[in-house]
Amino acid sequence: MTLQEYDYARESPSKLAASCLLLALTMKNLGGWTPTLQYYSGYSAQDLHPLVKRLNFLLTYQPRDKLNAVRSKYSHRVFFEVAKVTPMDMLKLEETLTSS
């Protein structure tokens, strides 16, 4: 979904991927950013927090009529309907990120 948003073009692909992983881990309560993830990604959890919040906010956008192909594709059960996942409440996300 970030490919359709110009604001994310300035982010490095590795930081974007790491932030997506941290958001997914947080949304599914699968743990936090471990020392192993920090070592191999090169990013601390604190480095990723602002981008994680922006990514969660991006999930709240309604699809535009002309730009709904990605959301439509990932709404299919073959892709586990990840485009239909409900974004986290911003306050709960903030709480979770700061407590870890």
Question: What digits encode the pLDDT tens for the residues 44-93?
Answer: 999 999 999 999 998 887 666 677 788 888 889 999 888 888 899 999 99
Burial class of residue 83 in the structure, from the number of CB atoms within 10 Å of its CB (0-12 exposed, 13-18 middle, 19+ buried): middle
Q: How many domains does the chain have?
A: 1
Look at residue 52 and tell me if it is in a domain: yes
What is residue 82's predicted lDDT score, i.e. its pLDDT? Answer: 85
Task: Using alpha carbons, list the distances in angstroms from residue 54 to 68, 78, 79, 88.
Answer: 19, 26, 23, 12
What is residue 78's predicted lDDT score, i.e. its pLDDT? Answer: 94
Look at residue 2 and tell me if it is in a domain: no
What is residue 62's predicted lDDT score, i.e. its pLDDT? Answer: 65
Determine the Cα–Cα distance for residues 77 and 65; give it in Å rounded to an integer: 22
Look at residue 7 and tell me if it is in a domain: no
Task: Print the domain residue range for 67.
Answer: 13-99
Look at residue 54 and tell me if it is in a domain: yes
> Do residues 77 and 54 make contact, with C-beta atoms less than 8 angstroms apart?
no
Look at residue 65 and tell me if it is in a domain: yes
